[in-house]
Structure 1
Amino acid sequence: MTVIIAVAVGANGVIGRENQMPWPRTGDMRQFKALTLGHPVIMGRSTYESIGKPLPGRTSIVLTRQADWDPGHDDVVVAANFGEALVRAYAVNPDVFIIGGAAVYSEARARDLVDVMVVTHVPLSPDGDAFFEPIQASHWTEVDRAAHFGTPNYEIATYVRA
């Protein structure tokens, strides 16, 4: 199993504000879709609710502690913890993407579950209430970086566990 984080991060570490992206769409959503299509995606309940529906062409697995929570769609998998989410994801595809939010990213990294991170670096420093922990060079090796042009311009970098 390969566990991959996909995240867009501002220069100040911000990834969200009030359950929304804190900058205009950069164009990285095309890359995100191409990267995750056909794979299971694990996200927290708030992230799922901000999207509002399952992502097409992917198995949406939502982490929540609310035992009676209803996603409103039959094809959404609800999991109470990371162990359950990973087992259910692996049954679909051995490449599993974690797509947010901040607490889910933090827990996955703290538990050493993550093998790869695909990070969209957005050169803005917006106000926010959700942050991505800094990438420590002693734990991660950057293996790829590509510049993309949009409004704003951005870079997508891939990191593997050192």
Structure 2
Amino acid sequence: MHVSLMVAITVDGKIARASDHYPDWTGSADKQLYVKITKKAGVMIMGSTTFDTIGRVLPGRKTIVMTRNPDRQSDREDLVFTQATPEQIINDLDAQGYDEVVVVGGAKINQLFAASGLIDELILTISPYAFGSGLSIFSGAVDLKLALEEFWQLDANSICIRYRVLH
């Protein structure tokens, strides 16, 4: 199973001003890339705060929402709420026939996957903003060693960088 972590950050490395900050600052080119990559994978994993901030299921892919609330349920086939560990989620998706997944945040979920050693690549959009304070990519210390795979200009002011995680 190939696990990508996809995030948009400011030039000072923040993914949001606060946990409920709607990501409307990332630009249309980043949103198009997000749709392309998550639809290609067919499944994306996020935390409940990220899901609540987005406010809806995004079409054309399965959404796995990690939550600590056992009361959150869904009767939709494309939306799953789970209290499972990252390893359990990946094993379950693998058993369902998926071979690729995109982790899309937030910081706590990114941290859980990084700490579990499950991230194979980091897809990072750098947007032309600086927040000064806010949420980092990870909610705590990580030890990821990366190798640059490619980088490109997304639009007039944003770039995307793809790193391979060295295991």
Please state which band the TM-score falls in when normalised by the shorter chain.
0.7 to 0.9
Structure 2: runs of 5 or more not aligned: none
TM-score by length of 1: 0.86
- Deviation at 1:26? 4.5
Structure 2 residue aligned with 1:83: 87
- Deviation at 1:87? 2.7
Q: Distance in 1 between matches of 2:8 and 2:153?
A: 14
Structure 2 residue aligned with 1:126: 131
Q: Distance in 1 between matches of 2:39 and 2:24?
A: 24
* Identity fraction in percent: 24
Matched, 1:110 2:115: yes
Report Cα offsets for 1:47-83 as digits up to 9, x if no partner.
1111111111110000001111135855311121323
Q: Distance in 2 between matches of 1:46 and 1:158?
A: 25
Structure 1 residue aligned with 2:60: 57
Is the contact between residue 4 and residue 96 of structure 1 (CA under 8 Å) also seen in structure 2?
Answer: yes
Q: Residues 22 and 127 (structure 1 numbering): CA distance in 2 closer, same or farther, change over 3 Å? A: farther
Residue pairs, 1:13-162, within 5 angstroms: 13-18=13-18, 19=20, 20-21=22-23, 23=25, 25-38=27-40, 39-70=42-73, 73=76, 75-80=78-83, 81-90=85-94, 91-133=96-138, 139-150=145-156, 153-162=157-166
The CA RMSD over aligned residues, in Å, is: 2.4
- Which amino acid letter does the alignment assign opposite residue 127 of structure 2? V
Q: Distance in 2 between matches of 1:138 and 1:49?
A: 28
Q: Residues 63 and 145 (structure 1 numbering): CA distance in 2 closer, same or farther, change over 3 Å? A: same
- Which amino acid letter does the alignment assign opposite residue 36 of structure 2? A
Deviates more, 1:26-35 or 1:123-132: 123-132
- Which amino acid letter does the alignment assign opposite residue 13 of structure 1? G
Q: Distance in 2 between matches of 1:144 and 1:104?
A: 25
Q: Matched residue pairs, number?
A: 159
Structure 1: runs of 5 or more not aligned: none
Is the contact between residue 54 and residue 76 of structure 1 (CA under 8 Å) also seen in structure 2?
Answer: yes
Structure 1 residue aligned with 2:7: 7
- Deviation at 1:132? 1.2
Secondary structure of the residue that 2:113 maps to in structure 1? helix
Secondary structure of the residue that 2:88 maps to in structure 1? helix
